[in-house]
Structure 1
Amino acid sequence: MPVLLFRQLRPKQWTKNLLVFAALIFSFPNVNTEMLIRSVVAFFLFSFVSGCVYILNDFVDREADRQHPKKRYRPMASGALNPYVALVFGAILLVCSLALATYLEPRFGLVLFVYFVMNVAYSFRLKHVVIVDVMIIALGFVFRALGGGLVIEVPVTPWFFICTLLLALFLAISKRRHELILLENNMGSHRKVLDKYSKDLLNQLNSIVTTATIMSYGLFTFTSGRTQYLMATIPFVIYGIFRYLYLIHIEDKGGSPEEVLLKDKHILFTVILYALSVIIILKYFS
């Protein structure tokens, strides 16, 4: 049972919550031990609350997930885990996580609560509304970035929010495209909103978002109020996006961004080099 409950929290998808460390990275060289500890705690709190959302989402979608070639092996969809036991566990975990978040920083607790409510609305209704569904997914990443800044009490620039939103939209649109291709012969039986998308539309949306992301990040490096040497990180962003587009269009991947991050060495090394470059630039050239 403990193993099934832990699997139900989808720890492989916790990589999405690494975004809470973005504010910490861009705070160099003013980072201290307390800020690091708070960011680590924030990461796990977002992971736990995200896990509660996954529990609710899998509970609602367990019948549809049984028709999906991969999702049918999830604990509730496969029948290995009692759905109501998972719900009780999720409720307890949610209350404890929100209480600790509020204790750390009341505004962070509020962000975490709104994030949960938004995702509940997504699970029950908004995931069936075309375009709104991908925007809700993208907003989830923005909340992670905002929460990471609030918990360590550092301001986050508007450009940072814009870049986060656009990059998250890119990942969300890519996910829908992958699902559309994977389930093109039986897409309506799993996710109704896929009936309202087409591959051409999603390709066009991705073209707009990727262009805007690169331009916005370039402007961010010059107008963030830090050193202009941050422009040296632009090639990492461009390569990362181009590599992800290659995986989407050539290798038909992109349905699970967290798996791409962990399994594709090019993407993983690019993210690591990008983070190290930001830290070095802010520490020695700001």
Structure 2
Amino acid sequence: MPIPSPTGPLVTRDTVAAQLLGLGVQPGETLLLHSSLSSLGWVCGGAVAVVRGVLDALGPDGTLAVPTQSGDLSDPALWSNPPVPRDWWQAIRASMPVYDPLITPSRGVGVIPETVRTWPGALRSAHPQTSFAALGPRAAEITEGHAPDCRLGERSPLARLEKLGARVLLLGAGYDACTSFHLAEYRIPSPQVTVGRPGQDGWEAVPEVSISSDRFDQLGHDFERDRAVVRGRVGAADVRLFPVADAVAYAERWLPLHRSREEEL
């Protein structure tokens, strides 16, 4: 059988930088990037080229932040993708490695955030499950002080990004990946949960706000309909660009309305 040709378009570091600047990315600004490498096309240099292209667009005064979550450092009783046998749970809890911001890999957020995490000079926040990594002059301000009992709330990098006037860049990623919406969950009445994870002194249970990305696609659709969102493409990827603060404020109004309707059903 003939070898299939690569699926284009051809995307390079220069392609990424030029097309982001054409969409309105400003040198010197701060971006929170959610991304999908495979959506871009055939990328010469892969994730490294994408990161270099974004950094080129931001320039030396700009800052890039990404989610570097490690949700596998969690209670195996809640795992579903895939689940593990019940008789394994205790052994997994007892032997699960403690979070180390230098070596714990990110999980479920794609290869581009993992590339940023390991980039020279990158800083990473301290939360063992919902950390963020950042590169640039504002990296320390974004990542420092991430409280161990605040996954995505007021004492997390999300609130810092909002305060700094950062914008969200969805690069081939959908609104279901938009972590900014979670900050709104901390500002509205939300259920409390107990989060299990490995700690320095053994397995620990931490009270937290319940967070969920259910219906974030619909929330994003309504947000884009009602608010100013820059839309375009980089390579073959759909791109969205908007302020973190706008997304949080819209979600603060949208989530209580739609969740209350669900509860009445």
Normalised by the length of structure 1, the TM-score is: 0.30
Structure with greater proportional strand content? 2
Q: Report the TM-score when normalising by structure 2.
A: 0.31
